[in-house]
Amino acid sequence: MPLDRRHLGGPGGVPLDAIVFGGRRATNVPLVAQAFDWGHGVFMGATISSERTAAAEGTVGELRRDPFAMLPFCGYDMADHWSHWLEVGAAVAPEHRPLVFQVNWFRKGDDGSFLWPGFGENSRVVSWITQQVDRARRRRTDVGAVASPVGLVPAPGALDVAGLDLPDGALEALFDVPAGSWLAEADLTEEFFDRFGDRVPARLREELADLRARLRA
């Protein structure tokens, strides 16, 4: 179902505080990242991808694009779907817009093992997300996040990892943003956008350019 402004706190709707996207990625994508703003959040949703597994058709490890996890279900041009999301956000007061997040439970270390235990421990990430919502809604001044080229990530100590037996360096690796790999991914994103021609919203092209600029800074 397309997003409607009623879902963002309008009359007759249910307010949404957070929208969370996720894909299965062994590299690049941090454990969790918060969008800088609504437009960046739409960019996050539009560029969600997962690496194919042996259970999926195609080459194992190849990126499979699935914008908003809606590609098999979207009944109209996907670029128009992105425009719709941007329009809904523009029609809603900033304080009523949900915060947008991206999660990735599947990042791996150099030895091929998962860096994050997953399963019930994912609630630790959800807890950080809810704290970020609380900070925004209550205008709290404590720092829960720091900026990375791909979004806001938990500040040191903000993500509860007490009692977890994480390998040495795993937490740092979970939030590593390798500029070279991300610039290569930006090229793949541009190729993906080009499939939709001039229907791609200009804002998303701008977000891609901004991402490249942050990675090169």
Question: 93-132, pLDDT tens digit by residue?
Answer: 888 899 999 999 999 999 999 999 999 999 999 999 999 9
Q: Strands, E, within the chain: which ranges?
A: 18-22, 32-34, 49-51, 63-65, 99-103, 145-148, 151-154
Q: How many Å apart are CA 158 and CA 145, to the nearest integer?
A: 7
CA distance 85 to 201: 10
> Residue 210: is its pLDDT beyond 80?
yes
DSSP 167: P
Give me the chain's average pLDDT, please: 91
Residue 18 forms beta bridges with which residues?
A: 99
pLDDT, tens digit (0-9, with 9 covering 90-100), for 162-191:
999 999 999 999 999 999 999 999 999 999
Determine the Cα–Cα distance for residues 196 and 49; give it in Å rounded to an integer.
17
| Distance, CA of 121 to chain centre | 19
- pLDDT, residue 132, reads 98
Give residue limits of the domains in the chain.
5-211
> CATH number of the domain at 5-211, please?
3.90.228.20
